[in-house]
Amino acid sequence: MTAVLPSRPQRPEGGRLIDQFEYGLDAPICLTWELTYACNLACVHCLSSSGRRDPRELSTAEAEGVIDELQRMQVFYVNVGGGEPTVRPDFWHLLDYAIGHDVGVKFSTNGVKLDKVRAAQLARTDYVDVQISLDGATAEVNDRVRGAGSFATATRALENLAEAGMKDFKVSVVVTRENVSQLDQFKALTDSYGAQLRITRFRPSGRGADVWDQLHPTQAQQRELYAWLLANGDNVLTGDSFFHLSALGESLPGLNLCGAGRVVCLIDPVGDVYACPFAIHENFLAGNVRSPGGFQQVWQNSELFADLRNPQTGGACTKCAHFDACRGGCMAAKFFTGLPLDGPDPECVQGYGETALAARDLGLVTPKSSIDHSHKGPVRGQPTLLGMPSIPVKACDESPLAGLTAG
Partner 1 sequence: MTAPAGPVVDVEFDPALPWQKARSVALRPEPFGALVYHFGNRKLSFLKSKMLVAVVTSLADHPSAEATLVACGVPEAQRPAYAKALADLARSQMITPRESA
* Residue among 104 and 338 whose Cβ is closer to partner 1: 104
Residue 125 interacts with partner 1 (CB under 8 A): yes or no = yes
Question: What mask, x for binding partner 1 by CB under 8 A, covers residues 201 to 220?
Answer: --------------------
Other C-beta atoms closer than 10 Å to the C-beta of 96 total 14
Stretch that binds partner 1, among 146-154, 160-168, 284-292, 338-346 (CB under 8 A): 160-168
* Residue among 257 and 285 whose Cβ is closer to partner 1: 257
Residue 184: is it exposed, middle or buried by C-beta count within 10 angstroms (0-12/13-18/19+)? exposed
Reply yes or no: is the peptide bond before residue 287 cis, omega within 30 of 0. no
- In whole angstroms, the minimum distance from the beta carbon of 114 to partner 1 comes to 14
From the list 41, 46, 58, 128, which residue makes contact with partner 1 (rule: CB under 8 A)?
Answer: 128
Residue 23 interacts with partner 1 (CB under 8 A): yes or no = yes
- In whole angstroms, the minimum distance from the beta carbon of 386 to partner 1 comes to 38
Residue 303 interacts with partner 1 (CB under 8 A): yes or no = no
Residue 76 interacts with partner 1 (CB under 8 A): yes or no = yes
Other C-beta atoms closer than 10 Å to the C-beta of 376 total 9
Residue 29 interacts with partner 1 (CB under 8 A): yes or no = yes
- In whole angstroms, the minimum distance from the beta carbon of 116 to partner 1 comes to 17
From the list 2, 4, 6, 17, which residue makes contact with partner 1 (rule: CB under 8 A)?
Answer: 17
Strand order in the sheet with 170-175: 236-237, 196-201, 170-175, 128-133, 104-109, 77-81, 30-34, 264-267, 272-274, 285-288
Among 242, 328, 332, CA closest to 280: 332
β-strand partners of 288: 272
From the list 104, 233, 254, 315, which residue makes contact with partner 1 (rule: CB under 8 A)?
Answer: 104
Stretch that binds partner 1, among 34-42, 73-81, 111-119, 389-397 (CB under 8 A): 73-81
Residue 116 interacts with partner 1 (CB under 8 A): yes or no = no
Residue 361 interacts with partner 1 (CB under 8 A): yes or no = no
Residue 102 interacts with partner 1 (CB under 8 A): yes or no = yes
* Residue among 18 and 401 whose Cβ is closer to partner 1: 18
Give 299's contacts (C-beta < 8 A, 6+ positions apart).
Answer: 27, 28, 73, 265, 273, 286, 305
β-strand partners of 237: 198
Q: Which residues bind partner 1 (CB under 8 A)?
A: 11, 14, 17, 20, 23, 25-27, 29, 74, 76-77, 102, 104, 122-123, 125-129, 166-168
